[in-house]
């Protein structure tokens, strides 16, 4: 936020060339800056409401309190440790679920028998809200790490499966035929035609599944945790520490933003051919 309010010191147009682009650039910067006005105003109003006592501290802490709490949680390492535990859960669940989803998509996409065996159960299971499985997971796996990782993995697997399978099925048959006319082996065709052809869809699936992974984490961490962001938030609830709860929530969303940015970067890199 501070950067938004900082004066645009380097923003002056380059001297000497008062061209159209030179006048257009500051205007664009100005509108970008204007987009920050209303969020800042909301935070300012929020702070005002808290300071004047209109907003009860036990309902929602003030922005200043939240910032202080964030500083303390970072300084004493609580937040870092919690993030580490949560990220490990997501990473493990994601790797398991993504491997599972991609493997099934390949089996279903590359052979008719595979499709008939894999696709019908997957299409049925995907309609199942996976959070509804939490009671069963607790009965099967207790309340340790296993049900949390399983819940994340399950949430990750479906978007990747569905999108990758659709991507493989959507590959231009004529291009596949051209690959056959070049006497490429089946494995070479998979490597050079099928997989890169399905990649745009897989990346769409990846973005969806990462979103679901973080969502699943938040839900999973409400199942008796003794570490992680969810644990931090739950304990804060017990002590009515609304500032810590908000810090936890903001951390969740920053983590989600970070993984989304990674996928967008991958998309730009991998799909640069889409001129």
Partner 1 sequence: MARLTPTRRSSRPGASDTPSVGPHVPDPHPANGADRAAGHVARVRGHHRSFGDVHVLRSIDLDIAPGEFVALLGRSGCGKSTLLRSLAHLDPSPAEEVDVVGRSAVAFQEPRLLPWKTVVDNVALALLNAPERKDRDRLARERLEEVGLGEKLDAWPLQLSGGQAQRVSLARALVPDPSLLLLDEPFSALDALTRIEMHQLVIELWRRRQMAILLVTHDVDEALNLADRVHVMDGGQMARTWEIGLPRSERSPSHPEVAAVREEILHSLGVEPTPPNPNRAPGTPAADAHDRGAA
Q: Determine, following the binding rule CB under 8 A, whether residue 170 of this chain makes contact with partner 1.
A: no
The span from the CA of 210 to the CA of 216, in Å, is: 10
- Which of 105, 154, 179, 220 is in the footprint of partner 1 by CB under 8 A? 179
Burial of 59 (0-12, 13-18, 19+ CB in 10 A): exposed
Give the interface segment with partner 1, choosing from 64-72, 162-170, 188-196, 228-236 (CB under 8 A): 188-196
Closest distance of CB 266 from partner 1, Å: 14
The span from the CA of 215 to the CA of 79, in Å, is: 19
Q: Determine, following the binding rule CB under 8 A, whether residue 11 of this chain makes contact with partner 1.
A: no
Residue closer to partner 1 by CB (options 79, 179) is: 179
| Separation of CA 265 from chain center | 13
Give the interface segment with partner 1, choosing from 24-32, 81-89, 139-147, 185-193 (CB under 8 A): 185-193
User: Pick from 215, 28, 228, 204: which is nearest to 143 by CA?
Assistant: 228
- Which of 175, 254, 258, 261 is in the footprint of partner 1 by CB under 8 A? 175
Give the interface segment with partner 1, choosing from 99-107, 114-122, 181-189, 201-209 (CB under 8 A): 181-189
The span from the CA of 271 to the CA of 27, in Å, is: 31
* CB-based contacts of 186-192 (< 8 A; 24+ apart in sequence): 190/110
Give the interface segment with partner 1, choosing from 37-45, 89-97, 173-181, 247-255 (CB under 8 A): 173-181
The span from the CA of 57 to the CA of 216, in Å, is: 29
- Which of 29, 34, 126, 180 is in the footprint of partner 1 by CB under 8 A? 180
* Helix H or strand E segment including 12: none
Closest distance of CB 163 from partner 1, Å: 17
- Which of 188, 226, 261, 265 is in the footprint of partner 1 by CB under 8 A? 188
**Footprint on residues 190-219 left by partner 1 (CB under 8 A):** 192-193, 196-197, 199
Segments in the chain forming alpha helices (H): 2-5, 20-34, 37-51, 63-75, 78-110, 112-125, 134-141, 145-169, 173-181, 186-189, 195-220, 229-238, 242-270
Closest distance of CB 34 from partner 1, Å: 37
Binding site for partner 1 (CB under 8 A): 172, 174-175, 177-185, 188, 192-193, 196-197, 199, 271-275
């Amino acid at each position: 936020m501070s950067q938004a309010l900082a004066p645009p010191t380097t923003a002056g147009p380059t001297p000497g060339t008062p061209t159209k682009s030179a006048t257009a650039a500051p205007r664009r910067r100005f509108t970008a800056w204007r987009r920050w006005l209303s969020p800042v105003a909301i935070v300012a109003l929020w702070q005002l409401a808290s300071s004047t006592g209109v907003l009860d501290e036990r309902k929602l802490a003030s922005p200043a309190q939240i910032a202080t709490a964030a500083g303390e949680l970072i300084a004493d390492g609580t937040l870092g440790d919690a993030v580490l535990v949560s990220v490990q859960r997501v990473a493990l669940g994601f790797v398991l679920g993504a491997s599972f989803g991609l493997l099934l998509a390949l089996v279903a996409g590359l052979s008719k028998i595979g499709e008939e065996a894999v696709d019908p159960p997957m299409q049925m299971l995907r309609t199942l809200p996976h959070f509804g499985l939490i009671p069963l997971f607790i009965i099967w796996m207790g309340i340790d790490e296993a049900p949390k990782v399983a819940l994340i993995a399950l949430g990750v697997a479906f978007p990747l499966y569905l999108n990758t399978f659709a991507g493989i099925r959507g590959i231009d048959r004529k291009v596949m035929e051209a690959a056959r006319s070049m006497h490429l082996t089946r494995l070479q065709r998979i490597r050079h035609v099928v997989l890169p052809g399905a990649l745009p869809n897989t990346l769409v699936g990846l973005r969806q599944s990462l979103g679901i992974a973080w969502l699943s984490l938040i839900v999973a961490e409400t199942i008796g945790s003794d570490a992680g962001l969810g644990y931090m938030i739950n304990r804060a609830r017990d002590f009515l520490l609304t500032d810590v709860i908000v810090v936890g929530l903001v951390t969740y969303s920053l983590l989600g933003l970070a993984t989304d940015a990674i996928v967008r970067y991958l998309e730009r890199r991998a799909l640069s051919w889409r001129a």
